[in-house]
Every structure is written in structure tokens, then in C-alpha cells.
């Protein structure tokens, strides 16, 4: 591994607490006297009119305080973020199994649970649609169709030597954050409410609760300590539970807690959007891809949620790491009777990338070349134009790809695998390369802004608040590092405060892998302002010249690089006595970015993250099971400011991607009922299914970029390396049965492998 120049192994104060079980999540907050417990009564039919509902008997159960229906909502019964199409509580119709209808508020959970069984409801069934193509055919869309066009694909196909068409499917994915959705709210003075929420989007919770309660946003305070994982599942959907707790607390004037059990969470919440897609790819003699057409049918579920934005990111990533001069990409967000699907690490990017990889794989097999030959010939280069108009700069695609090719010694590896496959009748190996190119920034330009609040206390210690949420990605340690560097003091002097909407307002959700960049720059900005007032005090106090350069090194003052033997603590105390401002609010809005939705052109990303993974897998041809021998990656992280955290993100993302592509199988029946509704029926990667060896190398790069301290965003991109595992396993199947009719349908579960091995 290359050691990045700013090597730093600071992990922050969080992690020892996690390991010892001392970190505080929503369900760990000590409960106040008089706390009310909330249970949700949800729909058992995926699409129906509610003919009648009777909860009079349930309300009589001892301990039940009140049952809330849509009629009890004082403000608007509306939680839709992008499109106002989703009620908090179903009114007269239900649109998916698991849709909340009533809230039971009780003195304890048992009473609430008992009440659930005494509610009488009658439905008049309506047509249930679970398939996005069926929804599309019936004109059921959640948002208008989007189209990205560059060049003229239809015309260019006529001149292509090779043209191939096909279809792909990718299934959803359950977030399975360790901490389920939940919130705890209590009423405060002046008709206000305070909500402790497990959310990636404190402001989204604040805005939604204010709307539903019919009060101003300044009457709602949201506080987040940290999440036991979010993975996108709490970008939008946490607002539901925050608002429910707020509603009950607001009306009953008592603290109210709503924390989902695992099966409730799996049943009620949306997941990664499944996609069904059609592709057409055209290549010339030299295997250059000249034209590509793709149509995406996104399964959005019963309400828009974030699906329209996810759809857009799919389009942005539909050519992955390749330059294709003629592209027509069409995307439809289809309305079905499933829980509203939502953000999930990659945010539609992985779904788009899978299709182009399948198209390249399909073409390679038809032409009789290795997929990597096509991949390599079409990698992005500087000055290439992407289908949405952004021009590629500081491209690292080839460097990463070639690095892995060389380190893996591809010709030797190919030989070894071929020999293995000849020698072993019932074990076969396959390999695949997976390059990635992922755009960093919210695609919605407005969201690329952040604020921070920094206080220096009179004893020299520092408190930092940002709009970002720590969910395991290592935001807080990185914010501490940024502040420590900017102020010139030790990380141990700095505390990261909770995320709170009264300290830092108008937060963008912690998402798009941009939290660290956005909030880090805001922290830097705040620290710079403190430095300005503090340093001017020092100059006056020590009678220095205006031009003298003041810095703190290890908390000791240096003037023009000369140590002065006066400590930070001493000078801060003096500065306070002399009435110096030691607090500042920082702000950052990403420069250079823009996007015009009317033209579908612009420069939406501050930069791109590149990388390549090589995966080798072995399948058992009697059982259909498989093992991943190794994954070898060269990843562009710019100049890592925290190697340990970045490796954690790389490994976690890769394994989560492997889960999506190989074993995590969400199954709804035709009636829209979730069958994979518990950990007994939904399999996620465990210690036995992770690659036997993961070898990450950071790309050695001097390229400039807009990342915080040049340490590029790392949260989502590694997930997409998991796509390589799909193709490695599929190639192993073809090594056993070259005539296999195995389709491009992920996840490639052992069942699908087995059927693929023996079909014709």
C-alpha cells in the first residue's frame, strides 16, 4: 500500500465507545417520566380502499392513551419531500403493505401491541402492481421521464460493425442499518417540540414535523447524536418516525417514543430501487463503443420519496467509466404498490453502471474477446465529454485500471484460471474487472451547501457543530482533524457536538458522499474567522507587525516560523479578557457546479472518484455455492486524510456491494407482500462470504481536486466494486456450461448459479 503523504491514523473518541457498547443511540436515551410508547398499525393489503375502520375496542385496553388517525393531524397530512404525494397516515386508501394507518399511543409497548390486535379494518381491494414495466405500460409514473442525449446514437448504430441488444434486472436491497428507524420527542415551551431522531437529514425531519403539526420550523428542534448506520435509508424516511413521535408528543403534551422493531422496519420502509433495463450497444472494428442506448424502468414504489433524484443519478452514471460519443439514455420512475423505495449507497449510480457492464460483457462474449479488452479501450480520458455535458478533468481511470492489470499479472492469472478450470470438473473459477467513475456532489445543485459553528472556550478547548451526521462513515473524526489542522491544536482539545437544527440550520442531508467535503469546508471557514480575530489580538498584545505570520504548531505560538514559547491556552485566556470574538459560523457552497435540467447539461459534479477492482471467484458446480478468492483494487482517494477510516469505507462498501450483487434477495409476492421480511429469509454477507483476501491500494496521485484537504469522498464509490463479483461468478458458470442461458439478473444467488450451470 502506498502511504499517503498526510498519513493520519486518528480514529477519534467514538470507536472505543462503540466497541464497549457505550455509544448512545435513540433507544439508549434515558426515558423521561410520563413517556408514551407508539406502535404503528399498518396496511396488510398493497392497494385498497379503506371501507371501514373501528378502533373503539382497542382504545379501551388498559394503558392505551389515544389512537391517532389522519383526522388527528393538526397541520398537513403530507410528508413527500420532492413530490407531495405521500400522507403520514393513510386517509381513505392504502398503496402498499406496511403503509401506516393509525398510531397507537400507550403507557407501555405491551398495551400498544395488544391494541393492534383489536383494530377492525375492512378493505375494498384495488389492482396491485409490483412490476415497473407493467406500471409504465399503464402510464403510472412518479415523475416525468428524463432523457440524456449526446451525439446521435440512432444514426451511428447504422455504421457500427457490431450491434447488440439485451435486458437486465437488478433487485433492491434492504439497508439493514444496525439501529432501526426511530425517534424520541418531547414538548417544550411555546408550543414547540424537540425531537431526537435517527436521521441523516435533521432539517428534513424539522421541515416535515412542522408541516404536519402546522407550526413554524423555529418551533421544531431536531437533535442527532449519531446513527447506527443509515446507508441512505434515513435520508428521507427517518422523517416519518420523527414526525410520528412529534405528533403524539405535541398533542398529548407528553414525551413520546417511536422505535421500530426489526421486522416492522423491514416491512414498512423502502429499499434500494430495483431496476429493469433495456440496452443497445454498438462497436466498431477496433472495439471502440460508438453508440449506446439504454432505457431504465425504476421501481419507485407507491410514492416518489427520493426516486426522481435517484433516477437522475442513474442517468449520470449510465456510461460508468467509459467515453461513449453517442448516447441516448431514457429513465422512467414507475409507480408500484411497494413501500416507497429510497436512497441507498450509490443512489441509483450502481443500477446504471450494472447495465453498461452487462452490455460490454454481452458484446465481448458475442464477439469472442475478453470483456476487459473492451473496457480498457473505452476508458475515460481528459477532455472527454460526458452525456450530461461535463468535461472530464484530472482523469484517473486508466491509471487505476492499468495498475490493477499489472499488479495482478493478468496473462498469468488468466492461464492459472484456465488450467484450474481444465483440471477441476466440479469447481470453476471466473474473474472480472470493474472500473468505476462516480460523480461527487448532490446532483441537485442547491443541496451543495453547509454550515458549521465553532466555539473556543476560555480554557482553550474547542466545540465544533456541523450540519453533518455521523452514521459510522467517520465524519466526526475527520471534522476534528480539519479543525485541529486549521487552528493548529491537538485533536484531543476538540469535541464534536451533536447535530442540532438550532445550532446549525438548513442542513443538507448527510448523503451523496459529500458530507465530509461540505461540512469540512464549513469548519475550515469558521476556524479561519476565529484565527483572524484571535491572531489580530495576538499581534496587538505582543506588539507584532501586521505582516507577521502567526501560526500555532502543537499548540505553541510561532511568529514567522519561530517558536515563541507561549501556549494556545494562555493566549486564548488573555484574548477572552481582552474581549476577542472566539466563536464563528462557517459556510461553504461548492464552487464551479451547475446543472440545467431543461437542457440536461451542465457541470453537476465538483469532481469524480475513480478506481478499478479485479475479482476472482470459485463456484461449486454441484451445489451452486461460491467463494470469492480475492478482490484487488486500486482506488483514487486523492490524498487520504485518514487512512483507517477510508479503508473501513472501502471494505464496508465493497462487501455491501457484494451482498447486493450475490445474495441479498428481496422477495415480494404478486400481492405486494414482503416475503423476505426477517434475517432468517434475507441473507446478508457474513464473515464466511466476504472475499478471502481484499487488497486495496490507494492510487498515487498528485492531481488537484476540490475535496477537503484533497482527501476525496469515499462513502459510496467502493460499493460499485461489488458489481465485479457478479460478473466473476457468472463467468465461472459459463466456464462450466458455455451454452448456459443465464440472464443478466442480479443478485446471482446460489439458486441462480445452480440453474445456470445446468440449463441449456
3-state secondary structure 104-145: EEECCHHHHHHHHCCCEEEEEECCCCCCHHHHHHCCCEEEEE
CA distances from 375 to 139, 319, 435 (A): 36, 11, 8
Q: Which stretch binds ligand HPA (CB under 6 A): 306-314, 389-397, 553-561, 682-690?
A: 306-314
Verify binding: residue 204, ligand HPA, rule CB under 6 A.
Answer: no
3-state secondary structure 520-581: HHHHHHHHHHHHHHHHHHHHHHCCCCCCCCEEEECCEEEECCEEEEEEHHHHHHHHHHCCCC
Q: Tell me whether residue 593 or residue 753 sits nearer to ligand HPA (CB atom).
A: 593
Verify binding: residue 229, ligand MTE, rule CB under 6 A.
Answer: yes
Q: Which of 133, 444, 539, 585 binds ligand HPA (CB under 6 A)?
A: 444
Residues 6+ away with beta carbon under 8 Å from 582 = 455, 456, 457, 530, 533, 534, 572, 575, 576
H-run or E-run covering 486: helix 475-487
- Report the distance separating Cα 437 and Cα 319, nearest Å: 9
Verify binding: residue 442, ligand HPA, rule CB under 6 A.
Answer: yes
Verify binding: residue 343, ligand HPA, rule CB under 6 A.
Answer: yes
- Beta bridge partners of residue 167, listed in sequence order: 278
# residues near ligand HPA by CB under 6 A: 12
Verify binding: residue 269, ligand MTE, rule CB under 6 A.
Answer: no
Within residues 690-729, the interface with ligand MTE by CB under 6 A covers: 713, 715-716
Kindly write out the interface string for residues 641-680 of this chain, putting x where it contacts ligand MTE by CB under 6 A and - elsewhere.
--------x--x----------------------------
Strand-pair category, 192-197 with 550-553: unpaired
Q: Tell me whether residue 306 or residue 728 sits nearer to ligand HPA (CB atom).
A: 306
- Report the distance separating Cα 38 and Cα 59, nearest Å: 13
Question: What is the DSSP-derived secondary structure letter of residue 272?
Answer: B
Q: Return residues touching ligand MOS (CB under 6 A).
A: 200, 232, 235, 343-345, 347, 511-512, 716
Specify whether the backbone of 624 is left (phi greater than 0), alpha (psi in -120 to 50) or beta: left
Partner from ligand MTE, ligand HPA, ligand MOS, none binding residue 516, C-beta < 5-8 Å depending on class: ligand MTE
Shortest spacing between CB 233 and ligand MOS, in angstroms? 8
Q: Which of 81, 132, 230, 672 binds ligand MTE (CB under 6 A)?
A: 230
Three cell numbers, residue 694? 481484499
Verify binding: residue 315, ligand HPA, rule CB under 6 A.
Answer: no
Give the residue closest to ligand MOS by C-beta.
Answer: 232
- Report the distance separating Cα 457 and Cα 722, nearest Å: 46
Crossing angle of helices 722-736 and 750-758, in 10° steps, is 30
Q: Tell me whether residue 204 or residue 290 sits nearer to ligand MOS (CB atom).
A: 204
- Report the distance separating Cα 186 and Cα 249, nearest Å: 5
Long-range contacts of 678-684 (CB under 8 A, 24+ apart): 678/262, 678/263, 678/266, 679/262, 682/174, 682/176, 682/266, 684/174, 684/176, 684/659
Kindly write out the interface string for residues 140-179 of this chain, putting x where it contacts ligand HPA by CB under 6 A and - elsewhere.
----------------------------------------
Q: Tell me whether residue 254 or residue 345 sits nearer to ligand MOS (CB atom).
A: 345
Question: What is the DSSP-derived secondary structure letter of residue 295?
Answer: E
716 flagged as catalytic? yes
Kindly write out the interface string for residues 502-541 of this chain, putting x where it contacts ligand MTE by CB under 6 A and - elsewhere.
--------xxxxxxx-------------------------
Q: How many Cβ atoms are within 10 Å of 178's Cβ, its own excluded?
A: 10
Verify binding: residue 512, ligand HPA, rule CB under 6 A.
Answer: yes
Q: Tell me whether residue 344 or residue 660 sits nearer to ligand MOS (CB atom).
A: 344
In sequence order, which ranges of 590-716 are alpha helices (DSSP H)? 643-662
Q: Tell me whether residue 4 or residue 488 sits nearer to ligand MTE (CB atom).
A: 4
Q: Which stretch binds ligand HPA (CB under 6 A): 208-216, 240-248, 439-447, 741-749?
A: 439-447
Q: Tell me whether residue 232 or residue 352 sits nearer to ligand MOS (CB atom).
A: 232
Q: How many Cβ atoms are within 10 Å of 583's Cβ, its own excluded?
A: 14
Q: Tell me whether residue 87 or residue 653 sits nearer to ligand MOS (CB atom).
A: 653
Q: Which stretch binds ligand MTE (CB under 6 A): 109-117, 237-245, 433-441, 470-478?
A: 470-478
Strand-pair category, 48-54 with 120-125: antiparallel
Residue 321 in contact with residue 435, Cβ under 8 Å? yes
Shortest spacing between CB 234 and ligand HPA, in angstroms? 12
Long-range contacts of 418-425 (CB under 8 A, 24+ apart): 421/735, 425/621
SS3 427: strand
SS3 718: helix
Partner from ligand HPA, ligand MTE, ligand MOS, none binding residue 607, C-beta < 5-8 Å depending on class: none
Strand-pair category, 594-596 with 583-589: unpaired
Shortest spacing between CB 221 and ligand MTE, in angstroms? 23
Give the residue closest to ligand HPA by C-beta.
Answer: 512
Shortest spacing between CB 262 and ligand MTE, in angstroms? 17
Q: Tell me whether residue 456 or residue 511 sits nearer to ligand MOS (CB atom).
A: 511
Query: How many Å separate Cα 78 from the centre of its chain?
Result: 24
Partner from ligand MTE, ligand MOS, ligand HPA, none binding residue 313, C-beta < 5-8 Å depending on class: ligand HPA
Strands lying side by side in the sheet with 556-559: 550-553, 556-559, 562-567
Partner from ligand HPA, ligand MTE, ligand MOS, none binding residue 652, C-beta < 5-8 Å depending on class: ligand MTE
* Short-list 99, 75, 39, CA closest to 257: 39
Partner from ligand HPA, ligand MOS, ligand MTE, none binding residue 132, C-beta < 5-8 Å depending on class: none
Verify binding: residue 313, ligand HPA, rule CB under 6 A.
Answer: yes
Query: How many Å separate Cα 439 from the centre of its chain?
Result: 13
Verify binding: residue 479, ligand MTE, rule CB under 6 A.
Answer: no
What does the CA dihedral 103, 107, 113, 115 come to, rounded to 10 degrees?
Answer: -70
Question: What is the DSSP-derived secondary structure letter of residue 426?
Answer: S
Verify binding: residue 511, ligand HPA, rule CB under 6 A.
Answer: yes
# residues near ligand MTE by CB under 6 A: 21
Q: Which of 95, 146, 345, 632 binds ligand MTE (CB under 6 A)?
A: 345
In sequence order, which ranges of 290-377 are alpha helices (DSSP H)? 307-316, 349-367, 371-377
CA angle 240, 659, 168 (to 5 degrees): 90
Shortest spacing between CB 469 and ligand MTE, in angstroms? 8
Q: Tell me whether residue 164 or residue 442 sits nearer to ligand HPA (CB atom).
A: 442
- Report the distance separating Cα 506 and Cα 503, nearest Å: 10
Shortest spacing between CB 511 and ligand MOS, in angstroms? 3
Partner from ligand MOS, ligand MTE, ligand HPA, none binding residue 473, C-beta < 5-8 Å depending on class: ligand MTE
Q: Tell me whether residue 271 or residue 345 sits nearer to ligand MOS (CB atom).
A: 345
Shortest spacing between CB 229 and ligand MOS, in angstroms? 11
CA distances from 184 to 77, 194, 335 (A): 20, 8, 32
The catalytically annotated residue of 179, 312, 470, 716 is: 716
Residue 98 in contact with residue 43, Cβ under 8 Å? yes
- Report the distance separating Cα 649 and Cα 475, nearest Å: 11
Question: What amino acid positions are annotated as catalytic residues?
Answer: 716
Residues that bind ligand HPA (CB under 6 A): 235, 306, 309, 313, 343, 347, 442-444, 447, 511-512
Residues found near ligand MTE in the complex (CB under 6 A): 229-232, 345, 471-473, 475, 510-516, 649, 652, 713, 715-716
Amino acid at each position: 500500500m502506498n502511504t499517503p503523504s498526510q498519513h493520519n491514523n486518528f480514529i477519534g473518541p467514538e470507536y472505543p465507545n462503540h466497541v464497549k457498547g457505550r455509544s448512545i443511540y435513540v433507544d439508549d436515551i434515558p426515558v423521561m417520566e410520563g413517556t408514551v410508547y407508539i406502535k404503528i398499525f399498518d396496511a396488510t393489503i398493497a392497494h385498497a380502499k379503506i371501507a371501514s375502520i373501528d378502533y373503539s375496542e382497542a382504545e379501551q385496553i388498559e394503558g392505551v392513551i389515544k389512537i391517532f388517525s389522519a383526522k388527528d393531524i393538526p397541520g398537513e397530512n403530507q410528508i413527500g419531500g420532492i413530490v407531495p404525494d405521500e400522507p403520514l397516515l393513510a386517509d381513505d386508501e392504502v398503496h402498499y403493505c406496511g403503509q401506516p394507518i393509525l398510531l397507537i399511543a400507550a403507557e407501555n409497548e405491551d398495551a400498544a401491541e395488544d391494541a393492534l390486535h383489536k383494530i377492525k379494518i375492512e378493505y375494498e381491494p384495488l389492482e396491485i402492481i409490483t412490476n415497473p414495466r407493467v406500471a409504465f405500460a399503464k402510464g403510472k409514473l412518479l415523475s416525468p421521464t428524463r432523457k440524456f442525449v449526446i451525439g446521435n446514437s440512432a444514426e451511428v448504430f447504422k455504421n457500427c460493425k457490431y450491434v447488440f441488444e439485451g435486458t437486465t434486472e437488478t433487485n433492491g436491497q434492504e439497508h439493514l442499518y444496525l439501529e432501526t428507524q426511530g425517534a424520541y420527542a418531547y414538548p417544550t415551551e411555546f408550543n414547540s417540540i424537540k425531537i431526537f431522531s435517527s436521521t441523516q437529514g435533521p432539517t428534513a425531519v424539522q421541515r416535515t414535523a412542522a408541516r404536519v403539526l402546522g407550526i413554524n420550523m423555529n418551533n421544531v428542534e431536531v437533535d442527532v447524536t449519531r446513527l447506527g448506520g443509515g446507508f441512505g435509508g434515513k435520508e428521507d424516511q427517518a422523517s416519518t418516525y420523527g414526525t410520528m413521535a412529534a405528533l403524539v408528543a405535541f398533542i398529548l403534551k407528553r414525551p413520546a417514543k417511536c422505535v421500530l422493531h426489526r421486522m416492522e422496519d423491514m416491512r414498512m420502509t423502502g429499499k434500494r430501487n430495483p431496476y429493469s433495463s433495456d440496452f443497445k450497444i454498438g462497436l466498431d472494428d477496433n472495439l471502440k463503443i460508438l453508440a449506446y442506448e439504454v432505457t431504465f424502468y425504476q421501481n419507485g414504489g407507491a410514492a416518489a420519496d427520493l426516486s426522481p433524484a435517484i433516477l437522475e443519478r442513474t442517468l449520470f452514471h449510465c456510461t460508468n467509466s467509459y467515453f461513449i460519443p453517442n448516447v441516448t439514455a431514457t429513465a422512467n420512475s414507475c409507480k408500484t404498490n411497494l413501500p416507497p423505495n429510497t436512497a441507498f449507497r450509490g443512489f441509483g449510480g450502481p443500477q446504471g453502471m450494472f447495465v453498461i457492464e452487462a452490455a460490454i460483457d454481452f458484446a465481448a462474449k458475442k464477439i469472442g474477446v475478453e470483456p476487459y479488452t473492451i473496457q480498457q479501450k473505452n476508458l475515460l480520458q481528459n477532455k472527454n465529454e460526458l452525456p450530461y455535458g461535463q468535461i472530464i478533468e484530472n482523469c484517473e481511470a486508466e491509471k487505476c485500471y492499468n495498475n490493477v492489470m499489472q499488479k495482478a499479472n493478468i496473462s498469468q492469472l488468466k492461464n492459472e484460471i484456465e488450467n484450474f478450470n481444465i483440471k477441476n470438473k466440479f469447481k470453476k473459477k471466473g474473474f472480472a474487472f470493474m472500473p468505476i467513475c462516480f460523480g461527487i456532489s448532490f446532483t441537485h445543485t442547491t443541496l451543495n451547501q453547509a454550515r458549521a459553528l465553532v466555539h473556543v472556550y476560555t480554557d482553550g478547548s474547542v466545540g465544533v457543530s456541523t450540519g453533518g451526521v455521523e452514521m459510522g462513515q467517520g465524519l466526526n473524526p475527520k471534522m476534528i482533524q480539519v479543525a485541529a489542522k486549521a487552528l493548529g491544536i491537538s485533536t484531543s482539545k476538540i469535541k464534536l457536538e451533536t447535530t442540532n437544527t438550532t445550532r446549525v440550520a438548513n442542513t443538507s442531508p448527510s448523503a451523496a458522499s459529500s458530507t465530509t467535503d461540505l461540512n469540512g469546508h464549513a469548519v475550515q471557514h469558521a476556524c479561519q474567522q476565529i484565527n483572524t480575530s484571535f491572531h489580530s489580538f495576538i499581534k496587538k498584545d505582543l506588539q507584532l507587525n501586521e505582516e507577521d505570520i502567526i501560526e500555532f504548531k502543537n499548540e505553541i505560538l510561532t511568529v514567522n516560523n519561530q517558536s515563541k514559547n507561549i501556549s494556545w491556552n494562555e493566549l486564548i485566556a488573555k484574548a477572552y479578557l481582552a474581549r476577542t470574538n472566539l466563536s464563528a459560523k462557517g459556510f461553504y457552497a461548492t464552487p464551479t457546479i451547475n446543472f440545467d435540467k431543461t437542457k440536461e447539461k451542465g457541470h453537476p459534479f465538483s469532481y469524480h472518484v475513480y478506481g478499478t477492482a479485479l475479482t476472482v471467484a470459485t463456484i461449486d458446480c454441484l451445489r451452486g455455492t461460491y467463494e470469492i478468492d480475492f478482490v484487488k483494487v486500486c482506488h483514487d482517494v486523492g490524498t487520504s486524510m485518514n487512512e483507517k477510516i477510508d479503508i473501513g469505507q472501502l471494505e464496508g462498501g465493497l462487501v455491501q456491494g457484494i451482498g447486493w450483487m450475490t445474495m441479498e434477495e428481496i422477495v415480494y409476492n404478486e400481492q405486494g407482500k414482503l416475503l423476505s421480511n426477517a434475517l432468517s429469509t434475507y441473507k446478508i454477507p457474513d464473515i464466511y462470504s466476504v472475499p478471502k483476501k481484499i487488497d486495496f491500494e490507494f492510487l498515487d496521485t498528485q492531481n488537484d481536486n476540490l475535496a477537503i484537504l484533497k482527501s476525496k469522498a469515499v462513502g459510496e464509490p467502493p460499493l460499485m466494486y461489488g458489481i465485479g463479483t457478479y460478473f466473476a461468478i457468472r463467468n465461472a458458470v459459463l466456464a462450466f456450461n458455455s451454452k448456459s442461458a443465464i440472464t443478466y439478473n442480479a443478485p446471482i444467488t446460489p439458486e441462480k448459479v445452480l440453474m445456470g450451470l445446468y440449463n441449456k
